[in-house]
Amino acid sequence: MPQGRWRRLSVGVGLSLLGALMAAGGAPGARADGSTTTVSPSTLFTLQSALKLPDWMQLEVAISAQPMFNPVGGLVNTGAYVQQTSVDLQLNSGLTRDTSQWREFDHWAVNLNGNHTTGNFSYGTEIGAIFPLQSASYPTGFWLTEASLERQAGNGRVNVKAGILPLNPDFMEAPILNFYVHSSLNNTLNIQSNDLPINPYSSVGGVVNLRIQNNLNLRAGLFNLNSIEAFSSFPLATFQGFQANVGGAGNGTVQFLQIDYTGSGLAPPQTRPIPVCSQPWALVRNFPRCKTPTTIANQLPGGLLSVGAYNSTDPQTGNGIYGSLTLRSGLPVGLADRIWVGASYTPDATVDFSPNFVGGGMVVQGAVPKRPLDVLVFGIGKGGFSSQASPNLTSPYEGMLELGYMIMLNETVQLQPTLQWIINPSGGGNQSVPGILAAGMQINLNF
């Protein structure tokens, strides 16, 4: 597509985003009227209530659409659209009961999850980037991601889950990473090892979580790599002419061990509302002599220190270590904030074409006056390349920088404009690739 047309499109998208932001100005929480009740996002619609499902059944559907284009840089100036739809169903008689009142049957749950992905998942490759710019860039198909039986700990110490499982969110994933659109910053610390069952892929496996203390958990997992391809796609995918292709089935097993610390000294849990002070012009950070204190719903995850490692009996999958830290910065920005750092490392550079990654960022709630529930997102990362593993990249690294703003219209709909700068894009083969400036929008629908 001619570059001039993309420039005109970028202006149109910019005006649309501005209009959406202005239209969202009257969303819940925009007024600072001194109320002592917690300001929370409203809920537009849920399938749970619309279908009048019983208390022992919980159904959720989430749709994430990610249109994106690159008006500057890359091999070509073009755009792409990807979308992921996720359906979660849990059956558990203890869903609406306090855990202190659970009987043995209430501990047991059946978990089902399916995903459908569609769109141009090769957009990053087309413009010369190694790492996808969109977190939903998976091959088109219907994915059976989870079908498991779980005994939940309740007030006990041991949680056990087994069946068809992905390795995340139990392993590698920190909740704060879900704010990002770029695949390297979102999800699993950019680990590129072959054949790992990263969502929406799955395999036969099991996870045991031991609660050592209220804020300290030890988690272990075992996954059968031979079964990944078997659960890669529902038969429905053949209607679209799609054949499962996840790089071939692995061999043997992979084991995970991870320890998580969630002390409130790092940051308050997300369940705790944020104390603020109501002023005539807006809500501001709380201070000792505030005459009109109130609270707002916390959109930010709690503090987390997570360290883990994995070991595989398949030499093509390899081994690795990873870790992340999420905490509040202590800076007077917005109404609340979190900063994070994360890294991963694979010691065998012949297995993983990107054996190391380091990233970090900051997430701020209420950065814009009169928008206390919106979230400003900034992140930066660097994925190093190996000269010993396919595709034999000669570049030392590819970097990514992301700036986004999540507009919380309500619990059902969120809009997130995003800007990304790809540093040293390395997918041009023998030709150099100009730095890529990409813009887009993540549209989240939760039912």
CATH number of the domain where residue 23 is located: 2.40.160.180
What is the per-residue pLDDT for 47?
Answer: 87
**Nearest 5°: phi and psi at 48?**
-55, -50
Range of the structural domain that residue 286 is part of: 3-446
Give CA separation, 118 vs 137, 198, 250, 401, in Å: 8, 17, 25, 25
Alpha carbon dihedral 267, 269, 272, 273, in 10-degree steps, equals 60
Which residue spans within 353-435 are E strands per DSSP? 356-365, 375-384, 397-408, 413-423
- One-letter amino acid identity for 51? L
Task: Profile the chain (447 residues) by mean pLDDT over runs of 10 residues.
Answer: 42 43 40 57 83 93 96 95 96 91 94 94 94 92 91 95 94 96 93 84 94 96 81 46 47 94 93 92 90 94 97 88 96 95 91 92 95 97 87 86 96 96 88 93 95
H-helix segments, 105-175: 123-127
What is the per-residue pLDDT for 230?
Answer: 61
- Find tokens 């529902």 and name the residue: 234
CA 296 to chain CA centroid, Å, is: 23
Which residues, 6 or more positions from 66, have their beta carbon under 8 angstroms from its beta carbon?
81, 82, 83, 134, 135, 136, 181, 440, 441, 442, 443
Query: Distance (Å, rounded) from C-alpha 339 to C-alpha 328?
Result: 6
What is the per-residue pLDDT for 36?
Answer: 56
Sheet of strand 283-285: strand arrangement? 283-285, 274-278, 293-296
Query: Distance (Å, rounded) from C-alpha 74 to C-alpha 3?
Result: 12
What is the number of structural domains in the chain? 1
Pairing of strands 216-224, 203-213: antiparallel
Alpha carbon dihedral 37, 40, 45, 48, in 10-degree steps, equals -80
- Cβ–Cβ under 8 Å, residues 86 and 113: yes
What is the per-residue pLDDT for 236?
Answer: 43
- Cβ–Cβ under 8 Å, residues 407 and 400: no
Structure tokens, 135:
């977190």
Indicate the DSSP class of residue 203: E
Burial 29-38 (b: 16+ CB within 10 A, else e): bbebeeeeee
DSSP SS3 for 411:
coil
Query: Distance (Å, rounded) from C-alpha 111 to C-alpha 92?
Result: 9
